Amino acid sequence: MVGEAVSRIDGLLKVTGTAAYATDYAIKNTAHAVIFKSAIAAGKILDIDTGAAEKAAGVLAVITHKNAPKLNEKGGIRGGALLQSPNIEFHGQHIGVVVAETFEQARYAARLVKVNYQKTDAKVDFEKHEKEAVMSKEKDKADAVRGDVEAAFQNAEFKVDEIYDTPIEHHQPMEPHATIAVWEGEKLTLYNGSQIVNGAQTAAAATLNLKPENVRIITPHIGGGFGSKGGQWANLILTAVAAKAVNRPVKLALTRQQMFNSVGLRQRNRQHLRLAATKDGKLTALAHETTTHTATTGEYIEPCGDCSKVMYDVPNSLISYRVVPMNIILPTYTRGPGKSTGSFALESAMDELAYQLKIDPIEFRLKNEPAKDPSSGKPWSSRKTVECLKEGAKAFGWEKRKLEPRSNRQGNYLIGYGVACGTYPARQRNTSAIVKLTRNGSDINASIELAASDLGTGTHTILAQTAADALGLPMNKIGVKIGDSALPPAAGSVGSVGAASFANAVNDACEKITDELIAKSGKQFFVRPTAAQLMISENTSEFQTRVDAKPPTDADKFSAHSFNANFAEVRVNDATGMVRVNRFLAATGAGKILNPKTAHSQIIGGGIWGIGMALTEESTLDPRRGNFVTRSFADYHVPSNLDIGAMETIFINEDDKIPNKLGVKGIGEVGIVGVAAAIANAVFNATGKRIRELPITPDKLL
């Protein structure tokens, strides 16, 4: 079954509305909580009057910093806002929570709370504070230098030296962050969308000063996450606190507006990118210097320079980061962290240099293809960039592209083609799994159990496929149980490690159970029997085993990545500047494709995220007040259906068992990497305008 385009096994639940997300659990006697937030960006609460709220009909409790329990702020919850002090670090920080009998009552009462603040100067204007940025204390964000970049630039005949700006963006999964908390004595059950099931468990336990085994996370279906449900945020803890306070189950969902300053964001990046090349198109220097912001209370920097480290063969290179703490919520990993934004700068600059050199941008890239990882000197486990570019170009009809911009017009529209590459590391993480076999006559069923997660990635389905093959059972005999911290611990669905970690663990478990059944039989076989056959031949009615899978020990000796090439055709309205993507094609080399149907969905999903990044998505802060002016789906434009044209996917066959036994590289992130640049490059090809500040809204093309 592995490699087959199987429809999702959870599809029936999802199309009938019966798949249960965090707030879909009907738990008796549930009370409803609503959070309220700070109206200033920095300072402290002098006084908070909850009297009217407490007296409002149906209200059970109002919790603020004045009566919140003491929590462990270093327990692993991201972004603070745990009601532990009157201090305000960013606009929209949680300052309290109302619990009431009904949602309507809680929402109303939350509006009755009156707060008196002492404001201090808030740092919210990046333009103003950019100069205060300093080097990070994180080791992997130290300056990475190879050769002599400055000398190479001085001597270069052809160079690009530009600033590329990307705005703050928000994940905004369709399911807002939401939790139902249920206490039974000291035991706490949290129904809560969690990309890293065990991570949510340990962070919640540590923050609430509980033993991890007393906290259970249940999250079989997650309504999207894109990084924002990787780490957990204060709303999870406040739900548990509220439930404890009223001694009842409590449901708390962030409002869409609250999502903008509750669960992280993709930070604004100002990327200074310099490239130098000889006149025949050989790169001589690459400098990628990123300046960004972080929270006043913690640091996260997305690695914008990562693609620049590995994409091209260049002898002199500099990758650096500078960061300034500001009164803005903590940034966090967001789909294709660093690579999606970093590739916008790198791959736009590559296009600019190719145009300067009058070389086709594909040819320019092929000329600079590295034989090994230039940053580490390690050999590639596999790298299919050349095939991605060539196969993609063929399928896309790249030969029709003209080098000179503004040379393709159809009526009121200017048409342009763009290309850009991307990459994302391939890794496997420790994951345990149990496989249980039961037999009833000749009918054998398997249950696969691990604390993995499925946020739309297709985990349920690929694990059923993997187990079916490894056990010798049809897929309809495989039950997949994930999304529960009571199951064996697993990696998270983050950083594209999910499929590799989960599938390899399941495969290992199935092989192990087969080995054990063989050993149990005491027989020797010429042909290795399947577990299913052994259950029957040995007349076993129940059997189970567990495996603790780890990545291959020598994986580190290689540089393992997925690679892609993205092709976009845009049309630009020559009067209004509105851009549409007519066609988009991604050619991807991402190891073994476990299920091309769900893999295609992952790739086009990444592509659509890239289209949003390129054309529509921008979170804007009021530079004086620190509030998000874009505070709803009406202001923050995630792409709509009409924004998306035809999307095609080509998979490059890759047999690479170095990163892990099954040869799975992961595709959740690589799909977005390079997309924004491909579109910006297509816009240049259409209009002759080089847009270096995303998103490319109509005003920028007038």
- Residues marked active site are found at 669
Any idea which residue has 């890794």 for tokens? Answer: 427
The reply on whether position 655 binds other proteins by CB under 8 A is no
Residues 461-490 that bind other proteins (CB under 8 A): 461, 464, 474-481, 484
In a 3-state reduction of DSSP, which class is residue 285? strand
Which one of the spans 275-283, 400-408, 497-505, 580-588 is the region binding other proteins (CB under 8 A)?
A: 580-588
Cβ–Cβ < 8 Å for 395, 663: no
Site for other proteins in 74-133 (CB under 8 A): 101-105, 107-108, 111
**Contact stretch for other proteins (CB under 8 A) within 255-263, 274-282, 307-315, 501-509:** 255-263
Among 87, 648, 689, 693, binds other proteins (CB under 8 A): 648
376 binds other proteins (CB under 8 A): no
Q: Which stretch binds other proteins (CB under 8 A): 124-132, 200-208, 264-272, 607-615?
A: 607-615
Residue 25 or 550 having the CB closest to other proteins: 25
The encoded tokens of residue 458 equal 């297709």
Q: For the segment 169-228, give every residue that binds other proteins (CB under 8 A).
A: 171-176, 189, 191, 218, 220-224, 226
Give yes or no for residue 592 binding other proteins (CB under 8 A).
no
Q: Which amino acid is at 86?
A: P
* Beta bridge pairs of residue 571: 415, 580
Q: Which of residues 620-639 bind other proteins (CB under 8 A)?
A: 620-625, 627, 629-635, 637-639
- Measured CA to CA, the distance from residue 300 to residue 331 in angstroms comes to 6
Copy the structure tokens of residue 113: 């709370």
Mapping DSSP onto H, E and C, the string for 422-449 reads EEEECCCCCEEEEEEEEEECCEEEEEEE
**Least gap, CB of 96 to other proteins (angstroms):** 14
Cβ-contact 40, 622 below 8 angstroms: no
Contact assessment for residue 608 and residue 641, using Cβ atoms and an 8 Å cutoff: no
Between residues 555 and 647, which has the closer beta carbon with respect to other proteins? Answer: 647
Structure token digits, residue 532 = 């299913």
Build a one-symbol-per-residue string for 274-313: x at contacts with other proteins by CB under 8 A, - elsewhere: ----------------------------------------
Question: Per CB under 8 A, does 395 bind other proteins?
Answer: yes
DSSP state of 34: E
Per rule CB under 8 A, is residue 527 in the interface with other proteins?
no
Stretch in the footprint of other proteins (CB under 8 A) among 15-23, 316-324, 349-357, 677-685: 15-23
Give, for 161, the enclosing helix (H) or strand (E).
strand 158-166
Q: Smallest distance, Å, CB 99 to other proteins?
A: 13
Site for other proteins in 415-454 (CB under 8 A): 436, 438, 440, 443, 445-447, 449
Between CA 416 and CA 409 the distance in angstroms is: 9
Q: How many residues bind other proteins (CB under 8 A)?
A: 153
The percent helix, strand, coil of the chain (3-state, each to 5) is 30, 30, 40
Distance CA 686, CA 288 (A): 27
Q: Which of 75, 305, 456, 674 binds other proteins (CB under 8 A)?
A: 456
The residue ranges of DSSP E strands in 327-393, in sequence order, are 380-382
Could you say which residues in the range 536-575 bind other proteins, by CB under 8 A?
571, 573, 575
DSSP string, 618-649: -B-B-TTT--BS--STTTS-PPPGGG--EEEE
